[in-house]
Amino acid sequence: MSQQFVPVVGSTGKPLMPTTHKRANKLIAKGRAVRRFDRGLFYIKLLDREEGYTQPIAVGIDPGSKKEALTVKSASHTYLNIQADAVTWVKEVEQTSTQMRRSRRNRKTRYRACRPNRRQGQFQLPSSTRARWGWKLRLCRWLARYYPIQVFVVENIKATTKQGQRRWNSSFSPLEVGKQWFYAELGQIAEVQTVQGYETKQLRDKLGLKKSKNKMSDQFEAHCVDSWVLANSAVGGHTDVDNPAILCIIPLRFHRRQLHALQFAKGGERRPYGGTLSMGIKRGTWIKHPKYGLCYVGGSNKSRISLHDMDSGQRVCQKAKPEDCIILTTASWRIKSERSKALPPHA
């Protein structure tokens, strides 16, 4: 099981120190706590206590272009390792949207009146940059609800500079601007520490840990090994990995409502395309089906909805009745658990 420890929150929702499954079951049996689930994370809520003693907990963050990792750790235990897929499709979608908008302007058609700049005075980021760094921020805020995090340790990635050219890409590139925005938002949750890439390697080599060259692997050695050493550098306590199990999180891609489909349909007309509701149910919602088990909601056709497998994302049903589905929670990601092979000492 990827979740060896159970997060605990007080009666007012304040995060406390995680506990073992055995102790959590005892608290539930005595009526002192209730079970709760949140998009792949099992936790308990105490009914008779609001606060408690907490130890320093750090979250190590290893950003990446395709996959990234987060580790929640204290000096005593590694509570959770997460490997998440990065959001990579926004730039392509924005290019398509721009092309549609420009072609629509050339057609003789009615158009909506111009709106004032609703983002005036706000910190503006390119859409793809905000999506990438906003995804990391959402995961950090999610973890902060259930763990008393005191520090975030982030590997400080840098933009590539061109020798002999202006230094615009080191100060004003989307990567640098997005990174600074992320640090500012993350600092509102807890303290933020940054570590350079070569320092991460030094920490990894000092502990005798090796990183896999297969970056698309779902094993601990691919990305979580870096997030683990980053968290361990802040709180210490281990010279070997005590919990290599990981929870894989994959963000769902929603097709927002467009003016019409890109290709003509039969008869020379273009059908409407996109949307985030299927028969009144928000797409991505986790449901329990009597035949297919745990799934999430995809598209719809007439009075039926499609269901997708949680582990693979493949469609398993296209004509499910909404009344047969038990709605569990709305979500913007799916999960799959991987049992990583235990690392030998100083592998």
**Domain definitions of the chain by residue range:** 1-53, 55-89+125-250, 253-333
Q: Is 207 helix (H, G, I), strand (E, B) or coil?
A: coil
Q: Which two tokens stand for residue 36?
A: 């709760």
pTM comes to: 0.86
Please report which residue ranges of 145-196 form alpha helices under DSSP H: 168-171, 174-186
**What are the φ/ψ torsions at residue 26 (nearest 5 degrees)?**
-65, -45
Contact residues for 120 (Cβ-Cβ < 8 A; gap 6+): none
CATH code of the domain made up of 55-89+125-250:
3.30.420.10
Binned average pLDDT, 10 residues per bin, the chain of 347 residues: 83 94 95 94 93 92 93 94 93 83 74 72 82 94 96 87 62 79 94 93 93 89 93 91 92 81 74 83 94 93 92 92 93 75 36
Sign of the alpha-carbon dihedral angle for 336, 330, 190, 128:
positive
What distance lies between CA 77 and its chain's CA centroid?
22
Contacts of 223 (CB under 8 A, 6+ apart): 62, 64, 67, 68, 69, 83, 215
Residue with tokens 């691919």: 222
Question: What's the pLDDT score for residue 304?
Answer: 93
Q: Please state, as a whole number, how many other Cβ atoms lie within 10 Å of the Cβ of residue 26.
A: 13
What pLDDT does residue 302 have? 87
Helix (H, G, I), strand (E, B) or coil at 198: helix
Could you give the CA distance from residue 190 to residue 340 in angstroms, rounded to a whole number? 29
| Amino acid type, 216 | M
Q: How far is CA 92 from CA 103, 133, 152, 283, in A?
A: 17, 17, 31, 21
pLDDT tens-digit series, residues 86-116 = 999 988 888 888 887 777 777 776 766 777 7
Packed helices 174-186 and 127-144: angle between N→C axes, nearest 10 degrees: 20
As a whole number of angstroms, the distance between CA 344 and CA 303 comes to 54
